[in-house]
Amino acid sequence: MDILILALVIALVAVGAISGLVVGSRKKKQLPPTAPPSTPTITAPPAEPHVGEEAEPGAQEPRRTIEEVVLPDARTQAPAAEAPAAEPEAPAAPEIEVPEPTAGRLVRLRARLSRSQNSLGKGLLTLLSREHLDEDTWEEIEETLLTADVGVMPTQELVDRLRERVKVLGTRTPEELRALLREELVAIIGPDMDRTVKTESGVDTPGVVMVVGVNGTGKTTTTGKLARVLVADGRSVVLGAADTFRAAAADQLQTWGERVGARTVRGPEGGDPASIAFDAVKEGIAEGADVVLIDTAGRLHTKTGLMDELGKVKRVVEKHGPLDEILLVLDATTGQNGLVQARVFAEVVDITGIVLTKLDGTAKGGIVIAVQRELGVPVKLVGLGEGPDDLAPFEAGAFVDALIGD
Ligand code: GDP
């Protein structure tokens, strides 16, 4: 009997030990999935989840395997986990360029002007310096002005003024002549015209600038350069790529924007320019941007077509508030043709400022005078090259100095 009881006790102990082993082995089987030793993301510093969103799934795992955190070998893997995480961060921050300051740009770029404008400024000075200012010489002076696209009326006015003043002067020293010519050219260009590009709305919404002009004049380039001018002056900018007609225009504008950290609102190719312009201003308001610049398409197919298109863009944008500036971009090398374009655009929208591009590539700087006269609107900016900062605020004095030298 005793033997029987002893056998029973032994049997029970044996069963208990076996079942304990089974439970224990189950526990061990459960561990590996929750504690994979090869999960470096687990030990990644808490900073990592802040850096990349990909850390989410891994972020769950540390809670399951607390002991993993303190495992020495896991810790040694931490730097390895950090290294690849740091790399994708670098390209995420695009390189933002710092544009050149805008003050004095025209003076810095004057060499570009004087190179192409010698026939105007220096030519006039040479003629005025002749010993005998006879009728033929005055005719040559007139011819020089007309060739430089100054325009018939302003040329006549200038010649009359110069004649009068030279007569009064009597003897002429080169310095006196230079000073006299400078004064008269500056006067006819208009030193007192307000040439500030209006980029402040006066309320707490962004200033809105619309850029118009015939395609090929440098409109998109100018919009991009203007964004840089504004950024250089400490303003934040949103770009509206409403030139949906020219295939590459939106990409081109976006590239300009990215270089200075300005967002570009764009739509599908051939999309509705007005709705893109509307969205751009909406984005500008949402972002709290200082200025919204809207590039438009300049198809001179028919005047009515242009009027419909630009008129609609303007009307739609004005649902947010009034436009602060409408800049007309004109290619200075196109001379009379440019003036014809200016007239058409002025009939379609109220131009408030002119941008003369490619002044580096023409000797016909007189277009500044002619186009202001034609539209009664100031030249506010001039393009002096293809470089990103080759757009300068226009100043009458600096312009004339570049023409005649000082
Ligand atoms: P859009 O069709 O009017 O938008 O014209 P783009 O902006 O594409 O410019 C047409 C061409 O003119 C490009 O090759 C520009 O680099 C060039 N361009 C624009 N402004 C100037 C300038 O001031 N000087 C020179 N030399 N080229 C310019």
pLDDT in tens, 164-210: 999 988 878 989 999 999 999 999 999 999 999 999 988 889 999 99
Q: Check pocket membership of 215 for ligand 1, CB cut-off 6 A.
A: yes
Q: Please state, in angstroms and rounded to a whole number, the distance separating the CA atoms of residues 352 and 376.
A: 9
> Where does the pLDDT of residue 66 fall: very low under 50, low under 70, confident under 90, or very high at 90 and above?
very low
Q: How far is the CA of 171 from the centre of ligand 1 (A)?
A: 46
Q: Please state, in angstroms and rounded to a whole number, the distance separating the CA atoms of residues 42 and 62.
A: 5
Most confident of 59-73, 93-107, 138-152: 138-152
Average of per-residue pLDDT across 322-342: 94
Q: Please state, in angstroms and rounded to a whole number, the distance separating the CA atoms of residues 239 and 23.
A: 67
Q: How far is the CA of 358 from the centre of ligand 1 (A)?
A: 7
Give the DSSP H/E element, type plus range, for residue 328: strand 325-331
* pLDDT number for residue 51: 30
Average of per-residue pLDDT across 77-83: 41
Is the model's pLDDT at 32 over the cut of 50? no
Q: Residue 321: is it exposed, middle or buried by C-beta count within 10 angstroms (0-12/13-18/19+)?
A: middle
Is the model's pLDDT at 300 over the cut of 90? no
Q: Please state, in angstroms and rounded to a whole number, the distance separating the CA atoms of residues 368 and 380.
A: 10
Instruction: Give the predicted TM-score (pTM) of the model.
Output: 0.77
Span 124-136, pLDDT tens digits: 999 999 988 999 9
> Where does the pLDDT of residue 406 fall: very low under 50, low under 70, confident under 90, or very high at 90 and above?
low
Is the model's pLDDT at 65 over the cut of 50? no
Dihedral (CA of 50, 53, 59, 60) sign: positive
Contact 290, 237 (CB under 8 A): yes
Average of per-residue pLDDT across 285-301: 90
Which tokens sit at 229?
Answer: 């001018």
Is the model's pLDDT at 79 over the cut of 50? no
Q: Residue 260: is it exposed, middle or buried by C-beta count within 10 angstroms (0-12/13-18/19+)?
A: buried
| 75 compared with 94, residue with greater pLDDT | 94
CA angle centred on 307, ends 302 and 310, rounded to 5°: 120
* pLDDT number for residue 403: 86
Phi, psi of 188 (to 5 degrees): -75, -25
Q: Please state, in angstroms and rounded to a whole number, the distance separating the CA atoms of residues 162 and 141.
A: 10
Residue 327: Cβ within 10 Å count: 24
Q: Please state, in angstroms and rounded to a whole number, the distance separating the CA atoms of residues 207 and 270.
A: 26
Give the DSSP H/E element, type plus range, for residue 383: strand 379-383
Span 35-59, pLDDT tens digits: 333 332 222 333 333 333 333 333 3
Contact 336, 362 (CB under 8 A): no
* pLDDT number for residue 89: 58
Residue 48: Cβ within 10 Å count: 19
Q: What is the CA radius of gyration of the chain?
A: 36
Q: Check pocket membership of 224 for ligand 1, CB cut-off 6 A.
A: no
Is the model's pLDDT at 86 over the cut of 60? no
Q: Check pocket membership of 295 for ligand 1, CB cut-off 6 A.
A: no
CA-proximal residue: ligand 1, atom 13 (nearest):
218
Span 364-392, pLDDT tens digits: 899 999 999 999 999 999 999 999 999 99
Contact 264, 252 (CB under 8 A): no
Q: Check pocket membership of 313 for ligand 1, CB cut-off 6 A.
A: no
Which ranges of 52-149 would DSSP assign to H, the alpha helix? 56-64, 66-70, 72-92, 105-108, 110-128, 135-147
Q: Residues with Cβ < 8 Å from 246, sequence gap 6 or more?
A: 215, 220, 297
CA 44 to chain centre: 40
* pLDDT number for residue 202: 82
Average pLDDT, the chain: 80
What SS3 class is residue 251? helix
> Where does the pLDDT of residue 298 fall: very low under 50, low under 70, confident under 90, or very high at 90 and above?
confident
Which tokens sit at 25?
Answer: 């082995």
Q: Please state, in angstroms and rounded to a whole number, the distance separating the CA atoms of residues 140 and 124.
A: 9
Ligand 1, pocket-test mutation among 334, 367, 386, 394, most atoms within 8 A of CB: 386
> Where does the pLDDT of residue 158 fall: very low under 50, low under 70, confident under 90, or very high at 90 and above?
very high
